[in-house]
Each structure stands twice: as structure tokens, then as C-alpha cells.
């Protein structure tokens, strides 16, 4: 898929979450980064409840990309 015109990669906050410097970012490390410490124009969860950390944000986003047979959207359940 071609890049969206005007789109920007926003990996800096994820890379910076590598607290122990081992070049592997874990969910635990992402959980230590509060979204309020990041620019809201880049990491805005909108009205989604309980999304407070970078871990919450990435976990939520990954749950919204499921497709079945092309564009058939999957229904997700949060537990």
C-alpha cells in the first residue's frame, strides 16, 4: 500500500520507551509512557475510555485493524 500523502511516521515515542536500552520495546515499557507526556497531535486516543499509556494506545489500535476476506470487518470483544 502506498504511503498516504502528508502522512508521517511517529515512531520516536515508541523507540524512546526502551527504558533499559536493549533495543527491544516491551509492553511493560510502553505501559510506563503516559499519553499526556506526548504531543496530543500525534497520539490522540479521542473519546476511547481507559487509554492512558502508550501501551493502551497501541493495544487499542491493533484491535481495530482486523479484516476477514478483504474488507469484511471483524467484531472484536474486549475483556
Cβ proximity of 35 and 42 under 8 Å: no
Domain extent listing, the chain: 12-73
Predicted model pTM: 0.68
Q: What is the pLDDT of residue 18?
A: 97
Cα(44)–Cα(56) distance, integer angstroms: 12
pLDDT, residue 79, reads 57
CA quadruple 9, 63, 25, 23: dihedral, nearest 10: -50
Q: What is the pLDDT of residues 25-43, one digit of tens each?
A: 999 999 999 988 887 666 7
Q: Which helix (H) or strand (E) holds 68?
A: strand 67-68
**Which residue positions in the chain have pLDDT lower than 70?**
1-9, 40-42, 44-45, 65-79
Residue 15: the pLDDT is 93
How high is the pLDDT of residue 1? 47
Amino acid at each position: 500500500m502506498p504511503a498516504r500523502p502528508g502522512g508521517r511516521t511517529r515512531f520516536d515515542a515508541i523507540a524512546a520507551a526502551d527504558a533499559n536500552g536493549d533495543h527491544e520495546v516491551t509492553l511493560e515499557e510502553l505501559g510506563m509512557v503516559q499519553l499526556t507526556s506526548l504531543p496530543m497531535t500525534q497520539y490522540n486516543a479521542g473519546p476511547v475510555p481507559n487509554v492512558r499509556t502508550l501501551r493502551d494506545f497501541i493495544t487499542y489500535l491493533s484491535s481495530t485493524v482486523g479484516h476477514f476476506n478483504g474488507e469484511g470487518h471483524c467484531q472484536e470483544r474486549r475483556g
